[in-house]
Each structure stands twice: as structure tokens, then as C-alpha cells.
Amino acid sequence: MTGSLIIAGLGPGSDALITPEVQDALAQATDIVGYIPYVARIAERPGLTLHPSDNRVEIDRSRHALQMAAEGRRVVVVSSGDPGVFAMASAVFEALEAGPEAWRALDIRVLPGITAMLAAAAAAGAPLGHDFCAINLSDNLKPWALIEKRLRLAAAADFAMAFYNPRSASRPVGFARALEVLREACGDARPVLFARNVTRPDQTLRIVPLSACAPEMADMRTLVIVGNSATRIIDTPRGPILYTPRSA
Amino acid sequence: MTGSLIIAGLGPGSDALITPEVQDALAQATDIVGYIPYVARIAERPGLTLHPSDNRVEIDRSRHALQMAAEGRRVVVVSSGDPGVFAMASAVFEALEAGPEAWRALDIRVLPGITAMLAAAAAAGAPLGHDFCAINLSDNLKPWALIEKRLRLAAAADFAMAFYNPRSASRPVGFARALEVLREACGDARPVLFARNVTRPDQTLRIVPLSACAPEMADMRTLVIVGNSATRIIDTPRGPILYTPRSA
């Protein structure tokens, strides 16, 4: 038996957003590895072993997955969203690079998924309709100064911005500081989308100007999108549509 | 009959990357509207009318789709990749905003898809594994000076960068200029991915340092990703893996 390691994206929440390619990989897996809530999305079946693990153990989880693949298992590491966007793919490659030379001969593939910013943008309209950037606001693995530098340069470039991991119980302060930086750089009127639990039954969308943003509007289940200078709102009887024109 | 308009992403090429949500919308449509090669991906069936149109008529196409929805049809506008990323969603909202007030009461939804940069990144490893930006290099709808400004600021921010529409027969010069700007700002060694026809049977991937990049390596079917300062290559017997660590 030849082992393999697939790093697969489950999309933001709804099963209707899991690609057939990923469904097929899950159906053929012998072992599923991932953070507890993501592994909980996988149906149990004979011949499949689930290996849920806690948050913040990404490198241990990656080594475990690589080791099982080296032993001949068909391992799928599941990520929320897209595995290559602030998710497990980079962690697996960090573990691969630091690990035994033999691991490099493994069949390793990344299968893309719908990352949260695409689903959040679609739910609100098309705020990422022109040039944009994606920033992880967590300073667990990088200094806050680098985040703030990127915010200022992204504002100067007039990118729309998508923020992942905006605020957590252990990092209550950073997002408040990010809002201050953005208000200085972009003014009070810039529209901001808070998309929580996107594509899930309890999805909520809020569109507010920067002046009305409060840090408490975001948590780890919230994807935040800040428009660029051309981002507009169309008022409709069904609610506001937030979009960035193609010429921006 | 109540009309509706769905703007749906078909993903980068492989049908295995079309979400079940989009498949369902296509199955229920009465009319499919889009650029010729994207509409060509939809199977004909009784009760379905295909409306292929040429490139660069996005606003006309959008008006046509909105008008048919207003007449009670179930219209799906198909985009390659994700409709909200350099694709049809913003064009439809521009047409909506400029159109008759009655259109605003329509049931309009955007269904996300796998955009090319996610598929290209997955095929090569995880080069977008940390903060990154996406830039449309076409200056059809914006001045070249704005593109160049964004390139310089993105380099200063040390974002990985994904470039859409890097080079076409009618715009042969811009990408060469972009490579010059990047070599000045990022140095010669920075790794660059050229992913052509990604997820299609004739997919090609090339990873080269900035110093070896030539304008001819890109065309309109190529997605280009430039790593950030931490982006690395792992050499393996199966080929190079390009990735950006989580701490970058």
C-alpha cells in the first residue's frame, strides 16, 4: 500500500460548498486529521479513523499526518476554508521541511476550498471586486508591528482588505488598534463588512461605516472586509449590496 | 413565476472544483449568460437557453441578464473562478446601480467559486500561506500608474502577490514593466510561480527566480504568484514545493 497525504479545504461551513474533488478524497481516506470542529464535520464510516486535535498544535498534527502517510495510510488533513490561506498547508510544509528526508518522497497534494473571504464577499455582494489583500490579524506568530505596517501600506495602496482571525479572547486589543489605524488612513465613511458564521444557518452580516465599528463586532468566527475608496452600497428592498467597481 | 439572478463561479477549469451549490443553481436555471468559453462548459438540456457573448461586453451582458430575471426567468451568469474576484459580480452590480429602480427588487445572489489563485497556489504548495494581495494587471479599466503604485506598496508590505490577467496580445508591455518594478523592489532571488491552465489537463507550473522571469512566460491563461521575502522552495523527488511559512 502506498501512502499519501492530502491537505483539503472544507470551505467555510456549508457542505454545499465542499468541492467534488475534496468529497472524493474524504471518501477514499483511511485517516482524517485536523482541528476538532473541522474533523467533527466528517461522517464516520468503517475503515476510517478520525484524529481530532486541539488548536495551536499545527506542527504536531502535521508530523502525525506525515508519519501516518509514510506508514502507508491515505491521510487527509482537513482545514476550514482553503488549506493554503491561513490554514494547514503551510504548517504541513514546515513540518515536511524540518522532518526526515524520506518524507519528501511522499505523495502530497493540496486541494483548494472556498476560503471565508470569498463566501463573505459573495454573501454581501462583491466588495473584493477589484485589487485586494488578505491579512491575518493574529499576532501569535508574527509581531504586531508588522501587521500595523501592512495595514498602513494596504490603505495607501487603496486595496480592499479581508481580515482573518480579527479578535480572540486571548488577543482582545489588536483589532481595536487596527480600527484606529484604519480610521486614520481611510476616514470615517469607509464601509466595513462583519460576516459571522458565513454560509452557516446562523450567518450574520453587518455593514457599517468605519466610524461605527466597535471591536466587539468581531470574534474568531468573523471575517471582516474593509472596502477600498471606491467601494459602494446599493440600497435594495432586500437589503444593502456592498461592491467594488471594476475600475477601482 | 418569480425571476432570479445568480452569479455563479465555475472554478478555474476542472469540473471537480464546481461546488454542489453552483451545480444545483445550474440545474435549475432557465437561462445561462456568460463569456463564450465559460458558457461552453455548460451541458445543453431541454428548457435551458444558453446566451454566450464576447469578451469586453460585461455591462451589456449584465443588463441582458437583469432584464431576463425581471421578466421572470431563472438566470445564471457564469464566471470562471470566483465571480467576485476580477469577474462578473461587480459588472452586474454596476449595471444594477445604473439600471431601472425595479431591478433592485430582484432576487440576486452570488455563489462563490474556487478562484484561480487558490488553485494555482494549491498545485504548487502554499505560496499564499501568509498575508497576500491579488492584483489585476490589466489596465483596460484603470490607469497603469495605479497598478505600479500598488506593486511598489505591496512589495514594501512584503505581501505575497497573485496577478490576474498578467499579459494579453493587446497589452504586451505592462507585465514586462511589472517585472522590472518587482526586481527593483524584491531582488533577483524572489521565487515566482507561473501557473497556466490550472486544473486543466494541459496545466503547466513553472517556478523561477525573478531574475529568470521573462514577459513571454505569461499570457491571459496564466496566473502568476510572486512570493514574499520568506517564501521557500522544498526540493523533493516529485518536484519543488513552493510555500510561505505561517510566521511570515
Contact residues, chain A, for B84 at CB < 8 Å: 118, 121-122, 126-129
pLDDT tens for each residue of A129-170: 999 999 999 998 899 999 999 999 999 999 999 999 999 888
Which of B55, B110, B181, B229 to mutate to test binding with chain A, by most A CBs within 10 Å of its CB?
B110
User: Is the Cβ pair B248, A18 closer than 8 Å?
Assistant: no
* Among A204, A147, A213, A146, residue whose Cα is nearest residue A183: A213
Count of C-beta atoms within a 10 Å radius of residue B146: 16
How far is the C-alpha of A210 from the C-alpha of A206, rounded, in Å?
12
CB A120 within 8 A of CB A85: no
Which of B2, B14, B15, B19 to mutate to test binding with chain A, by most A CBs within 10 Å of its CB?
B19
Q: Pairing state of beta strands B31-35 and B74-79?
A: parallel
Contact of B100 with chain A, judged by CB distance below 8 Å, is answered with no
Residue-level pLDDT at A56: 83
pLDDT tens for each residue of A38-49: 999 999 999 999
Amino acid (one-letter) located at A239 = G
How far is the C-alpha of A220 from the C-alpha of A218, rounded, in Å?
7
Contact residues, chain B, for A240 at CB < 8 Å: none
Q: Pairing state of beta strands B125-126 and B241-243?
A: parallel
pLDDT tens for each residue of B108-125: 999 999 999 999 999 999
Considering CB atoms only, which of A15, A86, A122 is closest to B112?
Answer: A122
Mean residue pLDDT of chain B comes to 96
Q: Please give the interface size between A and B, counted as residue pairs whose CB atoms are below 8 Å apart.
A: 229
Q: Which band of pLDDT confidence, cut at 50, 70 and 90, is reported for residue B178?
A: very high
How far is the C-alpha of B241 from the C-alpha of B234, rounded, in Å?
5
How far is the C-alpha of B229 from the C-alpha of A158, rounded, in Å?
22
The number of helix segments (H) and strand segments (E) in chain B equals 7, 13
Does residue B228 surpass a pLDDT of 70? yes
What percent of chain A is predicted at pLDDT more than 90? 94
Of all residues in chain A, the one with the smallest CA distance to B155 is: A153
Beta strand segments in chain B, E? 4-9, 31-35, 49-53, 74-79, 107-111, 125-126, 132-136, 160-164, 191-196, 204-209, 222-226, 232-234, 241-243
* Among A135, A126, A180, residue whose Cα is nearest residue A154: A135
ipTM above 0.85, yes or no: yes
Of all residues in chain A, the one with the smallest CA distance to B107 is: A238
User: Is the Cβ pair A19, B24 closer than 8 Å?
Assistant: no
Please report, to the nearest 10 degrees, the dihedral formed by the alpha carbons of residues A243, A247, B4, B10 taken in order. -100
Q: Which band of pLDDT confidence, cut at 50, 70 and 90, is reported for residue A58?
A: very high
Give B56: exposed, middle or buried? Use CB within 10 Å, 0-12, 13-18, 19+.
exposed
Lookup: cell for B208:
523561477
User: Is the Cβ pair A246, B141 closer than 8 Å?
Assistant: yes
Count of C-beta atoms within a 10 Å radius of residue A110: 30
Residue-level pLDDT at B248: 76
Does residue A1 surpass a pLDDT of 70? no
Lookup: cell for A150:
501592512
Contact residues, chain B, for A122 at CB < 8 Å: 82-84, 89, 109-112
The secondary element (H helix, E strand) that includes residue A224 is strand A222-226
